[in-house]
Structure formats: structure tokens, C-alpha cells
């Protein structure tokens, strides 16, 4: 499946994505296409709305964060209809970026750890305890399924400071949609 990234200000990024009713061959093909887009864009994760599909699916290449903060990639995993629980009260601030908002990075405060349950490509339910940047990635991608972007967490002056860059991104990528 040939997929293209969509960018900041595309309405699909602001929609609440629909649950996947059944893990069909089309769903598997979409997830595999998403992995390709993620890998060629050097992303840690990618959600289906970012390639224009309003479905509750994300893929993640990030496997773990070392104690020194090094991010280690592993075999990409697919999360279908993810559900989060056990979000820690302890939060941590770290810098994030997003393939849909190229070139912009900003600090976001998020829970340190969580549990995510989802269906895999076989339609089997699995459970993952995530901490550190892995939890952050799960939260960032799940936000995409709810129409939320990481820049939404930035308020006041921090957000205002991003506006010129966001306008540039919008103008630069608006014509790139297929």
C-alpha cells in the first residue's frame, strides 16, 4: 500500500479516529504501509491519521530507552484499538517531534509510565508495560487517534513562539498532498 504523510492543518489530524472492527487483510496492509512510511521518515512511531486513514492504529519502532536516554529501535510493532491504563502520577518533561510537523521540536510533560493493551496484526490482544520515552511515544501516537497534537500541550508564550514555524510548515507542505 502506497501511503503519504499528511501535515499540520490537515483536518484528518484533528478527527477522532474510528475503532478497527476486524483485523482484515486491508488493515494488515495499511499497518505494513505505515511501517514503511515510519522507517523511511526515521520516525519512532506513526499513527494511521498521519497517512490520512482515520482508524485507531499506530505503529512503533521504539523498543526501549536506555538509562542514559539512548533510544533503541526494535522490530516495529502494530497497536490496533489501543487502550491505555495505569498512567503514572509521576510525570516527566522531554522533547518531542512529529512527522506531521516537520522540523518542530518542543518539550512536553507526560506520565512516566503506563500500560497499553491493543490488538496485534493477528487480531490477538497483547499488553505492554511502557516507561520513559516508550510510554511517551505510546501517548503521542494515541493522542493522534484522538485528534490531539503534541503542540496542543504548549500554552501561552511557548505556543505563541511556535506559530511562525507552524505557518511555514502549513504553507510549505500544503501543496504536497496527493
Query: Which residues have a catalytic role annotated?
Result: 141
Q: Which of 169, 167, 108 is nearest to 140 (CA)?
A: 108
Mark residue 106 as left, alpha or beta (left: phi above 0; alpha: psi -120 to 50; beta: remaining): beta
Q: Using the minimum distance from each CB to Zn ion, give the nearer residue, 55 or 98.
A: 98
Which one, 41 or 171, has the nearer CB to Zn ion? 41
Residue 38 binding Zn ion, by CB under 5 A: no
- C-beta separation of 1 from 53 below 8 A: no
Closest CA to 137 of 53, 52, 47: 47
Q: Does 98 bind Zn ion (CB under 5 A)?
A: yes
Q: Which stretch binds Zn ion (CB under 5 A): 23-31, 90-98, 124-132, 160-168?
A: 90-98
Look at the block and give the residue holding cell 490477538.
124
CB of 39 to Zn ion, least distance (A): 15
Smallest gap from residue 100 Cβ to Zn ion (A): 5
Count of residues of this chain found to bind Zn ion when the rule CB under 5 A is applied: 1
Q: How many CB atoms lie within 10 A of CB 109?
A: 9
Closer of 65 and 141 to Zn ion (Cβ) = 141
- Given a contact cutoff of 8 angstroms between Cβ atoms, the answer to whether 147 and 56 are in contact is no
Residue 47 CB, shortest distance to Zn ion, in Å, is 7
SS (H, E, C) 152-172: HHCCHHHHHHHHHHHHHHHHH
| Least separation in angstroms between CB 140 and Zn ion | 5
Does residue 137 interact with Zn ion by CB under 5 A?
no
Q: Does 108 bind Zn ion (CB under 5 A)?
A: no
By beta-carbon proximity to Zn ion, the closer residue of 105 and 127 is 105
The span of 8-16, 60-68, 93-101, 107-115 binding Zn ion (CB under 5 A) equals: 93-101
Say how many C-beta atoms besides its own lie within 10 A of residue 73's C-beta: 13
Binding site for Zn ion (CB under 5 A): 98
Amino acid at each position: 500500500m502506497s501511503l503519504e504523510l499528511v501535515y499540520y492543518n490537515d483536518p484528518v489530524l484533528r478527527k477522532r479516529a474510528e475503532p478497527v472492527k476486524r483485523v482484515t487483510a486491508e488493515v494488515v496492509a495499511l499497518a505494513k504501509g505505515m511501517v514503511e512510511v515510519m522507517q523511511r521518515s526515521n520516525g519512532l512511531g506513526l499513527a494511521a491519521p498521519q497517512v490520512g486513514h482515520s482508524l485507531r492504529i499506530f505503529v512503533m519502532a521504539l523498543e526501549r530507552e536506555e538509562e542514559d536516554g539512548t533510544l533503541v529501535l526494535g522490530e516495529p510493532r502494530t497497536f490496533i484499538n489501543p487502550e491505555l491504563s495505569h498512567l503514572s502520577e509521576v510525570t516527566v518533561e522531554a522533547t518531542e517531534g512529529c512527522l506531521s510537523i516537520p522540523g518542530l521540536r518542543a518539550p512536553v510533560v507526560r506520565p512516566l509510565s503506563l500500560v497499553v493493551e491493543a490488538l496485534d496484526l493477528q487480531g490477538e490482544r497483547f499488553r505492554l508495560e511502557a516507561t520513559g520515552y516508550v510510554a511517551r511515544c505510546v501517548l503521542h501516537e494515541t493522542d493522534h487517534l484522538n485528534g490531539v497534537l503534541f503542540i496542543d500541550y504548549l500554552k501561552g508564550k511557548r505556543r505563541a513562539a511556535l506559530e511562525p514555524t507552524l505557518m511555514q510548515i502549513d504553507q510549505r507542505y500544503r501543496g504536497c498532498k496527493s
